[in-house]
């Protein structure tokens, strides 16, 4: 087979309308940045006996009201997972000829691991050149407990292979472990999604129940893999959904429906935070599972002709989308290095300097590391695709007509 049909990039914008997903990915990355800034500031903002009441009030506004959407970093990663389930599955579903899974896996490996290694190299340089002094940060905080102050060969190898459950050099790498697991499982996901295509409502509900149970049990497999499957389910029903959205937009009620959908999706994304005043840790964990439905709703609303989709097509949104993966990888080394240098007590200055620095480093990283990795991934996919037998035609045959997919 040719290399083109083995690589994910060409299918990310079928029909030109999935471009809004780039913007959604970009803003989700910004939310993750703000989440980690909040982690740095948490020891000084969260309620405590020695803190002014006004700070406790500010913490409540930031974390237990709809403003939490701005710093819902974990939930933003769930959005990434649903997006991956959609855009990674589409090339296989829409391949015009035989599809090589070997080529896909080889391409995906390069696409993910090279930027991961680049981020680890950047963090290593920061740690070596700008030593991290634990006395500059609050003990037992996120800064002190979740970020490496020294390096060792075993730790570097474990993070470089994504074989850890938690990461201390570049701690956002935990999600890339799940991305690689999904890449390996993609053929199974596609088979199941095609078989359950017309039972999308029941399947989606069961996946949400699985995610709720997974978060309640603190089981990563049940928590995160359903999000990828929801994205794959959207991929196999994409034509039907887009056809429905095109017809629905002619209705006078479509704007109100879209607005309600945006509000409901945002609510589901952060309902676990809004429920925290109830004081039940078990309930909070379980409600976190509903974030998969919130993420799914935002993805669908970005595909449909909605005000959200139009906002995500703005130049700033698309630029953020272009650097989103790089920004996701480099922002923690940048922010943490600054906080260790000047002290986490000066978190407003960390924010003032760290956000533009993260954007700048992310932009440079995209040009120097990520974009070349994309090009190499396509070449590697082509080389492996020429050598490895393609998948059976029944696995990658085009989906049934859109009128059936909308059933």
pLDDT in tens, 283-327: 999 999 999 999 999 999 999 999 999 999 999 999 999 999 999
Percent of all residues in the chain with a pLDDT value above 70, rounded to a whole number: 88
Q: How far apart are CA 191 and CA 231, in angstroms?
A: 14
Distance CA 210, CA 406 (A): 25
Q: Which of 209-218, 228-237, 249-258, 388-397 has the lowest mean pLDDT?
A: 388-397
pTM of the model: 0.90
pLDDT tens digits for range 222-251 = 999 999 999 999 999 999 998 888 888 888
pLDDT of the residue at 356: 98
Check if the beta carbon of residue 176 is closer than 8 Å to that of residue 380.
no
Please determine, for residue 65, whether its predicted confidence score (pLDDT) is greater than 60.
yes
Query: Quick check: 4 pLDDT over 50?
Result: no
Is residue 334 scored above 60 in pLDDT? Answer: yes
CB hemisphere CA count around 285 (13 angstroms)? 13
d(CA 79, CA 25): 8
Give how far Cα 226 sits from Cα of 25, 177, 299, 347, Å: 19, 15, 15, 36
> Is the pLDDT at 11 greater than 50, yes or no?
no
How does DSSP classify residue 370? I
Query: What tens digit of pLDDT does each residue of 91-122 get?
Result: 888 876 677 888 999 999 999 999 999 999 99
Average pLDDT over residues 357-377: 97
């Amino acid at each position: 087979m040719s290399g083109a049909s083995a690589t994910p990039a060409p299918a990310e914008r079928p029909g030109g309308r999935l471009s809004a997903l780039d913007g959604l990915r970009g803003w989700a990355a910004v939310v993750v940045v703000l989440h980690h800034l909040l982690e740095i500031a948490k020891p000084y903002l969260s309620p405590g006996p020695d803190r002014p009441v006004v700070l406790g009030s500010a913490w409540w506004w930031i974390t237990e009201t709809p403003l939490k959407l701005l710093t819902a970093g974990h939930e933003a990663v769930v959005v990434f997972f649903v997006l991956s389930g959609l855009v990674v599955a589409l090339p296989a579903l829409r391949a015009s000829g035989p599809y090589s899974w070997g080529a896909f896996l080889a391409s995906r490996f390069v696409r993910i691991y090279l930027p991961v290694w680049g981020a680890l190299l950047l963090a290593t340089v920061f740690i070596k050149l700008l030593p991290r002094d634990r006395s500059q940060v609050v003990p037992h905080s996120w800064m002190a407990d979740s970020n490496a102050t020294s390096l060792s060969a075993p730790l570097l190898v474990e993070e470089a292979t994504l074989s850890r459950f938690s990461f201390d050099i570049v701690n956002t790498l935990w999600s890339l472990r799940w991305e690689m697991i999904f890449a390996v499982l993609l053929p199974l996901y596609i088979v199941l999604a095609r078989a359950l295509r017309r039972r999308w409502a029941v399947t989606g509900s069961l996946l949400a129940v699985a995610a709720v149970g997974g978060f309640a049990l603190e089981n990563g497999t049940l928590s995160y893999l359903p999000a990828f499957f929801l994205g794959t389910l959207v991929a196999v029903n994409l034509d039907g959904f887009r056809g429905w959205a095109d017809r629905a937009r002619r209705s006078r009620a479509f704007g109100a429906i879209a607005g309600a959908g945006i509000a409901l999706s945002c609510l589901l994304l952060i309902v676990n935070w809004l429920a925290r005043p109830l004081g039940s840790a078990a309930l909070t964990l379980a409600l976190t599972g509903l974030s998969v439905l919130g993420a799914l709703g935002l993805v669908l609303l970005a595909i449909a002709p909605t005000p959200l989709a139009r906002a995500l097509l703005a130049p700033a949104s698309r630029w953020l989308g272009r650097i989103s993966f790089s920004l996701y990888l480099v922002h923690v080394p940048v922010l943490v290095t600054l906080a260790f240098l000047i002290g986490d007590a000066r978190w407003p200055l960390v924010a003032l300097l760290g956000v533009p620095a993260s954007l700048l480093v992310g932009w440079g990283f995209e040009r120097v590391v990520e974009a070349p990795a994309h090009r190499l991934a396509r070449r590697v996919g082509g080389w492996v695709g020429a050598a490895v037998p393609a998948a059976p035609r029944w696995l990658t045959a085009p989906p049934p007509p859109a009128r059936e997919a909308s059933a």
